[in-house]
Every structure is written in structure tokens, then in C-alpha cells.
Amino acid sequence: MPFIILIIVILIFLSFRIKIVPQANAYVVERLGTYLDTWSTGVHFLVPFTDRIAKRMTLKEQVADFPPQPVITKDNVTMRIDSVVFFFITDPKLYAYGIVNPMAAIENLTATTLRNIIGDLDLDQTLTSREIINSKMREVLDNATDPWGIKVTRVELKNIIPPEAIQEAMEKQMKAERERRESILRAEGEKKSTILVAEGKKAAAILDAEADKQTAILHAEAEKQRQIEEAEGRAQAIRLVQEANAEGIRMIREAGADEAVIKLKSLEAFSAAADGKATKIIIPSEIQGMAGLVESLAEVAAVSKKDAEK
């Protein structure tokens, strides 16, 4: 019975010497105070009384958020800047034996590097050059932490806190800048509005001039057409008169009228021309003779009429 109890105690003791390393972790093992091995993920046995786990560490990427550090810019402005460092362990042995307190070392190194970089920049450059500062700090920290088995992947400036007086001055400057931009935008808007109004008036004047021109052209065309139609009407009337005269002469000739009839017609034409308005008409001699003949015939006709009445 005591033997069984002894075996159980030994088994329990040995079970405590079996170690399981989780995923993304590493154990640094020492034997008699000397570095023995680095255990990675899996099951491992720790030799009793001689071996011990000196350091347990995670291989995941870690984040170190440091409190604000006072820094002085090139133009002697004191401000406070807090930074965030992203890193992971690449060599557990170096991390365990390279430096006593790696996190404190990274914090102090970050503060020193930040002061050195900001000391070469003025206030405006510090506020507008975050990417440059982050890049320089990452490069310096990565080179400095290589002997410690640490890889710095990224450094970010979380907050830049200038003095209260500087903040008030910056706010006033920003307000003045916004007012200046507002004035410029308002002036540009009024300028564009004036230009658009002037262009509108110009376009309206051009359209009015074009309309007046088109109206004048249409009136001229209408007047021209009216004059043409009147001229054509007069020409048509003259042509019809001439055709009527020619037709009358043709009919007289076809009727066999002698020269006396033609002369008589000429005399009628002179009478119509006088129309009671002329005071003196010159009649050709041949027509005068015809006129005498007509008068004689008229007298004979009158005498014959009186005898008939008796």
C-alpha cells in the first residue's frame, strides 16, 4: 500500500513537469541557471530539480501606448506628444537576455527619439508632418531594438497637445483664415454673378438687334413684293389696253371701214382728249376736212328731218 501511494505521488509530481506551450507562445528554459532551449508550441517535459522555465512570452504583435512626453520644437514651443508603438518578438532568447526591462527600454527610447526629431522641426512642421515623424521613429526604434529580439512594425503619434496660448492663437488664425476664404468666395460669387448678368444683357441686346434686323428685312421684302405686284399690275393693264386697241383696229379693218371712218374715229379721240378742259386743240388738215364734211352731213340730216315732220 505505501508503495502504491509512492507511485501515485511520483506520477503526480511528473505530471506537473509536463508543460504544454500554447499557440503563438514561446518558453525560455534554463538548466541549472544556464540557457537550455526555447520551447515552441507543443508538449514538453521539464526535468525535475534541474530545469525551469525562465521566461514565458507571446509571439503576437503587441501595442505599447506610452503617456504624453514633453518635447520642445525648433522655435522653442513646448508641447506634449503621446505615441503608440506596434512590435512583436522575433527572438525569445534575445528578448529574455538582451535587456532587463524591454518595455521600459522601448518607452525611454521612444521619448528620446521623439525629442530628437521634434527638436529639428518648428511648430507648423510638427503639426503637419506626422507621417514623416512616424517613419523616422519607426526606423530608429527598429534598428535600436534588433539586439533585443524585437521588431518594431509601426509607430503612430496619437495626440499632439500644444500649449493653451498656442491653441488660442491657432484657433484665431484658423478663424481669420476661414473668414478670408469666405470673403474670397463671396467676392468670386458676386464677380461671376455680375459677369453672367452682363453676358445676359449682351445676349439680349444681340437678340433684339437680330430681331429688328429680321423685321426690317421682312418689311423691305414685303414692300419690294408690293411694288413688284403694282408694277406687274400696271404692265398688265397697259398690255390689256394695247391688246384692246389692237383688237379694235383689227375689227375695224375686218369690217372694211374706209379712211373716212378712221379719220372720224381720230376726231372722236381728239374730242375725248380735250374733255372740255383744253382751250385750244390743233387738228390736222385732213381731219379738219373730215370735220367739215361731217358738219355738212349733219345739216342735211336736220333739213330732211324737218321736211318729214311737215
Report the alpha-carbon distance of residue 284 to residue 286 in Å, rounded: 6
Give pLDDT, residue 265.
58
Which tens digits make up the pLDDT trace of 2-58?
A: 777 777 777 676 666 788 889 999 999 998 989 999 998 988 888 888 888 999 999
Tell me what pLDDT residue 28 has: 93
**Contact indicator for 102, 94 with CB cutoff of 8 Å:** no
Contact 77, 124 (CB under 8 A): no
Longest dimension (CA), the chain: 208
Q: Is residue 143 a contact partner of residue 116, using CB atoms and an 8 Å limit?
A: no
Min mean pLDDT across 60-64, 90-94, 163-167, 173-177 is at 163-167
pLDDT given at position 261: 55
- Of 40-44, 60-64, 213-217, give the range with the top mean pLDDT: 60-64
- pLDDT band, residue 213 (cuts 50/70/90): confident
Q: Helical H runs in the chain?
A: 2-16, 92-97, 102-118, 123-128, 130-145, 164-254, 259-274, 285-309
Confidence at residue 124, expressed as pLDDT on a 0 to 100 scale:
82
> Could you tell me the residue ranges of all domains in the chain?
2-58, 62-162, 188-255, 258-270+283-298
* 188-191-195-200 Cα dihedral, nearest 10 degrees: 100
Residue type, 146: D
80 near 111, Cβ under 8 Å? no
Query: What local confidence, expressed as pLDDT, does residue 145 receive?
Result: 92
CB 83 within 8 A of CB 63: no
pLDDT tens, residue by residue, 140-185:
999 999 999 999 999 998 888 887 877 777 778 778 888 888 889 8
Provide the grid cell at 179.
473668414
Length of the chain: 310
Q: Which CATH class is domain 62-162?
A: alpha beta
Distance of CA 256 to the CA centre of its chain: 98
Q: Is the pTM of this model over 0.75?
A: no
pLDDT at residue number 297: 45
Predicted pLDDT at 154? 93
What is the per-residue DSSP string for 92-131? HHHHHHS-S-HHHHHHHHHHHHHHHHHTTS-HHHHHH-HH
- With left for phi above 0 and alpha for psi between -120 and 50, is residue 281 left, alpha or beta? beta
Cβ atoms 141, 86 nearer than 8 A: no
